[in-house]
Amino acid sequence: MSQKRKTVSVDHLEKLANLKIRAEEKAAIGPQLEETIKYFAILDRMSNLEKEAPTFQVTDNTNIVAEDKAQPGLPREKILPAQKKFFTVNND
Protein backbone atom coordinates (compact mmCIF):
# COMPACT_ATOMS: atom_id res chain seq x y z
CA MET A 1 0.00 0.00 0.00
CA SER A 2 2.90 2.35 0.66
CA GLN A 3 3.91 2.54 -3.05
CA LYS A 4 0.67 4.25 -4.08
CA ARG A 5 0.58 6.63 -1.16
CA LYS A 6 1.98 10.16 -1.28
CA THR A 7 3.74 11.65 1.75
CA VAL A 8 1.31 12.58 4.51
CA SER A 9 0.31 16.23 4.38
CA VAL A 10 0.43 17.39 7.98
CA ASP A 11 -1.20 20.69 7.02
CA HIS A 12 -4.15 18.92 5.41
CA LEU A 13 -4.65 16.64 8.41
CA GLU A 14 -4.37 19.59 10.77
CA LYS A 15 -7.23 21.26 8.93
CA LEU A 16 -9.33 18.08 8.78
CA ALA A 17 -8.88 17.44 12.51
CA ASN A 18 -9.55 21.08 13.44
CA LEU A 19 -6.20 21.45 15.20
CA LYS A 20 -3.72 24.28 15.48
CA ILE A 21 -0.24 22.81 15.78
CA ARG A 22 2.92 24.73 16.61
CA ALA A 23 5.59 24.71 13.88
CA GLU A 24 8.15 22.75 15.90
CA GLU A 25 5.59 20.08 16.79
CA LYS A 26 4.56 19.88 13.15
CA ALA A 27 8.14 19.24 12.10
CA ALA A 28 8.33 16.34 14.57
CA ILE A 29 4.91 14.85 13.84
CA GLY A 30 5.35 14.50 10.05
CA PRO A 31 8.18 11.93 10.10
CA GLN A 32 6.62 10.11 13.06
CA LEU A 33 3.36 9.66 11.15
CA GLU A 34 5.34 8.33 8.16
CA GLU A 35 7.19 5.87 10.39
CA THR A 36 3.96 4.56 11.90
CA ILE A 37 2.15 4.29 8.57
CA LYS A 38 5.07 2.33 7.11
CA TYR A 39 4.63 -0.18 9.92
CA PHE A 40 1.07 -0.91 8.69
CA ALA A 41 2.52 -2.61 5.58
CA ILE A 42 2.76 -5.76 7.73
CA LEU A 43 -0.98 -6.25 7.09
CA ASP A 44 -0.28 -6.73 3.38
CA ARG A 45 1.55 -9.93 4.22
CA MET A 46 -1.60 -11.56 5.63
CA SER A 47 -3.18 -14.11 3.32
CA ASN A 48 -6.83 -13.95 2.20
CA LEU A 49 -7.52 -10.81 4.17
CA GLU A 50 -9.90 -9.49 1.50
CA LYS A 51 -12.33 -12.35 2.09
CA GLU A 52 -12.66 -11.75 5.84
CA ALA A 53 -15.66 -9.92 7.24
CA PRO A 54 -14.63 -6.85 9.26
CA THR A 55 -15.27 -6.91 13.03
CA PHE A 56 -16.78 -3.77 14.50
CA GLN A 57 -18.17 -5.27 17.73
CA VAL A 58 -16.48 -8.17 19.50
CA THR A 59 -19.31 -9.55 21.63
CA ASP A 60 -21.90 -9.72 18.83
CA ASN A 61 -24.31 -7.25 20.40
CA THR A 62 -26.73 -6.09 17.70
CA ASN A 63 -29.68 -3.72 17.56
CA ILE A 64 -29.54 -2.60 21.16
CA VAL A 65 -32.29 -0.08 21.75
CA ALA A 66 -33.33 1.83 24.81
CA GLU A 67 -36.89 1.80 26.06
CA ASP A 68 -38.79 4.72 24.54
CA LYS A 69 -39.41 6.45 27.83
CA ALA A 70 -38.58 9.99 28.90
CA GLN A 71 -35.84 10.19 31.50
CA PRO A 72 -35.33 13.17 33.77
CA GLY A 73 -32.49 15.44 32.60
CA LEU A 74 -29.64 16.59 34.78
CA PRO A 75 -30.90 19.15 37.31
CA ARG A 76 -29.56 22.65 36.66
CA GLU A 77 -28.50 23.19 40.28
CA LYS A 78 -26.30 20.11 40.03
CA ILE A 79 -24.47 20.95 36.84
CA LEU A 80 -24.01 24.71 37.23
CA PRO A 81 -22.19 26.52 40.04
CA ALA A 82 -24.73 27.94 42.51
CA GLN A 83 -24.41 31.57 41.38
CA LYS A 84 -24.87 30.83 37.65
CA LYS A 85 -28.08 30.40 35.71
CA PHE A 86 -26.61 29.47 32.31
CA PHE A 87 -23.41 28.27 30.64
CA THR A 88 -20.89 30.79 29.39
CA VAL A 89 -18.47 30.00 26.56
CA ASN A 90 -15.00 31.43 26.12
CA ASN A 91 -14.66 32.94 22.68
CA ASP A 92 -10.89 32.69 22.18
Residues that bind another protein in the complex, under the rule CB under 8 A: 1, 5, 8, 10, 13-14, 16-21, 25, 28-29, 32-33, 35-37, 39-40, 42-43, 46, 49-50, 52-59, 61, 64, 66, 74, 78-79, 89-90, 92
- C-alpha 85/C-alpha 28 separation (Å) is 44
d(CA 61, CA 81): 39
Angle at 12 between CA 11 and CA 17, to 5 degrees: 100
Q: In the complex, what is the shortest distance from the CB of residue 13 to another protein, in angstroms, rounded to a whole number?
A: 5
Nearer to another protein, 49 or 70 (CB): 49
